[in-house]
Structure 1
Amino acid sequence: MNTRTAIATLLTAATCLALSSCSDTSSDAKTETKASSTPTEDPGDTFMTSVIDAHLDSYADGVPAAAELKAFPPQWCDALDSGHSVAWMFDLRQGGQYPVGQTWGTKKADAYELLVLGVKTHCPKHSATVLEELRATGEY
């Protein structure tokens, strides 16, 4: 988020809070307004920050475009919600969700790390299952 967008968001939130505190609505409505105007961090942004902080060998020459990498965690979560395994997701003939692009690739160990980071930010309820499966492979 750039500085101008952040300032505009804060000003909008402050205006909404000021208007809601002067209204005749119930305290429940005021609470809802305050809760909904609180900015929350996008899980995709959190994921990208963790990818950058991980310093993965596969991306020593630069991390792939955020838009490309951010597309994977929601797909992984959908597959996990449907009961699929990591092996199924990363099989190019089955799930086809191995983190690779047209101009970039990911080593297997780094792909596993990406998956763990994505599950933590997008669907943490699957973290234990994913970690268990990855550890069972002996490669993680």
Structure 2
Amino acid sequence: MYKKIMVAVDGSSMAMLALDEAVKLAKSQGAELTLVYVIEYPHVYVSDLGYDPLPVTEALVVEGRRVLDKAESLVASQDIAFRSLLVDNRTSTDSIAEQLRKVADEQQADLVVLGTHGRGGFKRLLLGSVAEGFLRLSTHPILLVPGKHDIDQHANA
């Protein structure tokens, strides 16, 4: 049924749960898995603010590569085909959700797997989560993976 599964990773525990589900699906379907990390640049990332943005840029790229390396090492032992993409669109004004949609389109993903919460925190309260934004934009099937805390909270409601 699924031949190309895309999963977004950001280093959060929720993304790791989504990765686990994506790996299970890819194994059961014989699908190729694409791991995607989108570098999130601060909104004040402007080169004319009087500072050198290169150290910030380098640190964000290093963090993205670290997250992808960790995800790759987990997937590599599972005997499934996979690739990873570090999305670095520092000049883009697109949201993370919009960038993920573009990657899903480019990769012709049959399914996109996302954790329900990532690194959003207070920002998520103001702007909405990446998962919610992606859900509104995407034309691809989506599997949203809730965290254990979310499941426990729902069960006790």
Query: TM range, normalised to the smaller chain?
Result: under 0.3
TM-score (norm 2): 0.26
**Is the helix fraction higher in 1 or 2?**
1
Is the strand fraction higher in 1 or 2? 2
Between the two structures, name the one with larger relative contact order (CA 8 Å, sep ≥ 6): 2
Task: Name the TM-score, length of structure 1 as normaliser.
Answer: 0.28
